[in-house]
Amino acid sequence: FLIKFIGVLMAIMFASELINEEFNKKTIQILRTTPIRPLEIILYRYIAGVVCMFTILTVTSLIYYVIIMMNAGLYGIKEELDILFLVIKLLLLESVAYIGIFILISVYFDKPFFLGIIYWMLWEMIVSGGNYQQITVSHYLNSVLFQGLENMGWDVLTKDYGLMKSAGNETVDLVTDPFTAAVIIVILALITIGISAKGIERRQF
């Protein structure tokens, strides 16, 4: 929860700075008078946002991991590297998904930070634990986390990650394969980039 929450806040801040500031300072007007297409404007900022967010979160996680495992010595640090790699994988997918979503919000709305928080609290927190969770990013991140821990031999249950839905009097597991989850997140990112590019074109003219 902490990693996701901090990641979401960073994504909202990066997206707001990358896009909304361009409109506030009117620099978007200059960019649109150049041969640079709206898709390029969005894509370059999207890549920059993903790289910055992923780098900051990864370095922080590495430091935190070393501090926690320091008491176990070098052996302990090496022993639990699988967990560290799983966290880094989640951070990458989180960066790819949320930067795209919050750039989209920044393009279409004047108060992206406020709306981004509302989106995360209402959509990613509430819907992700219900029967329609497969239309949220959190579901796919939780699926990757669940499968990763299960593959490591951890005793994990789908209900601990909200990966289930009610079907009459029974519950059905809703775990998405990690590869499929990653593909869906990438597709979502591409869609948000495309729609954001259209949004810039429409706002400009």
Per-run averaged pLDDT (10 residues), the chain, 205 residues = 72 74 63 71 88 89 85 75 90 92 85 81 78 86 91 86 76 88 95 89 60
The reported pLDDT for the residue numbered 182 is 95
Q: How far is it, in rounded angstroms, from Cα 42 to Cα 69?
A: 40
Biggest CA pair distance of the chain: 60
The reported pLDDT for the residue numbered 205 is 44
CB-based contacts of 37, cutoff 8 Å, min separation 6: 197
**Would you state the structure tokens that stand for residue 117, as one six-digit string?**
């928080």
The reported pLDDT for the residue numbered 178 is 92
